[in-house]
Structure 1
């Protein structure tokens, strides 16, 4: 037991309110650490991947696409959801090729993090891909996006002026900038 076990909520029951193609919404009854009960609305998600694809000339591939939830065009690192039981690296390779038309020779897992732990269990796995080779873009039939080649300086400026407002992309760009500083670039 860790010192924080006294903070854990015990799930008493769970009711599925909605089950869709991407998410399941549940209402869970939990027992709080003080013995009282509370309701928690929880979005269940299969997980996702995102890729920081770095070109030979030290640019990154970003995609510009419309996202309905914020009702806005967003500039993001290539990303997508895991299929049930799918290995995250397999998913990352598929998403990079589908969205950008590139394959990578080298892959490195950077980190995994929860996107919105206050209400969702989505865990996103972040990869760096290098040794890129252009193959063929294979967008899903309901997917429309533009691929952008962006320098480190331009990516940082896009964050500072609000053109990049996607959390996973901000995190990966700042990771990249830190790595570049370590390398003296």
Structure 2
């Protein structure tokens, strides 16, 4: 276990903070750790029958358009379930029929405390999309097989999308009634 001996806040922005810690290591030596603090987020694997609802969005840090499951940052005091409903509606105009939590992933524990709560649901149209200011997302329905193909060939590379889709498909598979034996 590492123990923080001293903390310095290097940056505090709208979404994240950057800290530098002097830590004592298990062998009693000391080292520095840079830590990105993030309020947490949610992501939703949204099914409509045999299709998945994704969003196409330009991601500046990686300089490309990406296909992802709808997701967003938790607001202060907001429950993950409420955030999932809000983000799904804001980004797509759809809402969950029934929301089910799949897992929580820690995105980059080597330098960040960001945790993403991943949910799954069937969706229904309940309104119009209304993304945050400066956010340009395009809802896209895609066949499940096509999403899996794109994950496999690397054209969908977002980690929350890969984790969420594979977990949701595994959950769906385990909930299917067993196939009848052919006589």
User: TM-score normalised to the size of structure 2?
Assistant: 0.92
Distance in 2 (alpha carbons) for counterparts of 1:176 and 1:152: 11
Give the structure 2 partner of residue 14 of structure 1: 7
After TM superposition, list the pairs within 5 Å mapping 1:6-155 onto structure 2. Answer: 8-55=1-48, 57-155=49-147
Structure 2 Cα separation of the partners of residues 97 and 131 of structure 1: 10
Look up the match of 1:4: none
Gaps of 5+ in 2: none
Structure 1 stretches lacking a partner, 5+ long? 1-7
Is the contact between residue 88 and residue 125 of structure 1 (CA under 8 Å) also seen in structure 2? Answer: yes
1:54 and 1:132 in contact (8 A); partners too: no
Structure 1 vs Structure 2 CA RMSD = 1.4
How many residue pairs get aligned? The number is 177
SS in 2 for 1:173: helix
Q: TM-score, normalised by structure 1?
A: 0.91
